[in-house]
Structure 1
């Protein structure tokens, strides 16, 4: 991706995004939605925002690349099927298992494997997002706040 003045090329990669996401997620920062602050899991659980899209918006901010409504809608559409068909059911299974761990002899081992599978699915979903993003020409902008844009974005109104 190149800035409008053609002097800056940014290499957006799935692997770079994954490493950025692991570091960002580990910091457990708080982000503003309205007048309140929430961490990424709260944004997911309370507002239905996708953590990987939140992280992608932060990743784009790092490079001062501005997203737009068309791109954001396509990103959401790209991951919806995988999210609802595979990732969310696995997450629900892990939560259900947790609520019944006293009855399951190998709970710790099963939970660990489910978490590993969930992380692989998250990584796949991030790869889907990067592939989609590369289909668009995005612009450089010194004043970007893609995460706020996503947090206030309601695709149902479009």
Structure 2
């Protein structure tokens, strides 16, 4: 399945996280999961987004919700990014791009007239039952974490 939508069962994933441990979506059965895709570690927008989720991790925890960030960066890059910004969220490495493809976030982008393939900033809110509750595409970072938190509170 590519481009999973609200109401679909979220495609399971199995990816290494910061530190190297393999994480599966099914590991969080019974919890809500915020699965967010971002282009690259330690770039301005991605850093703001990761810090935003980190600053609100206690609020998400209190709502039985786990946050998982996904990019094509290596586990080693994730470890550096986490250490540099004291991040408190799990970052998963999709170096092969399989999960990005299955979630429909590996897309053609256009910058300064050049087209290239890259990760569309997108967030999937997955309910405790494993079904997709809400999808945000082409995410703009300012206000996004608050919007996701509001959506989790509404569950």
Q: Same fold (TM over 0.5)?
A: no
Q: TM-score range by the shorter chain?
A: under 0.3
More helix by share: 1
More strand by share: 2
TM-score (normalizing by structure 2) = 0.28
TM-score (normalizing by structure 1) = 0.27
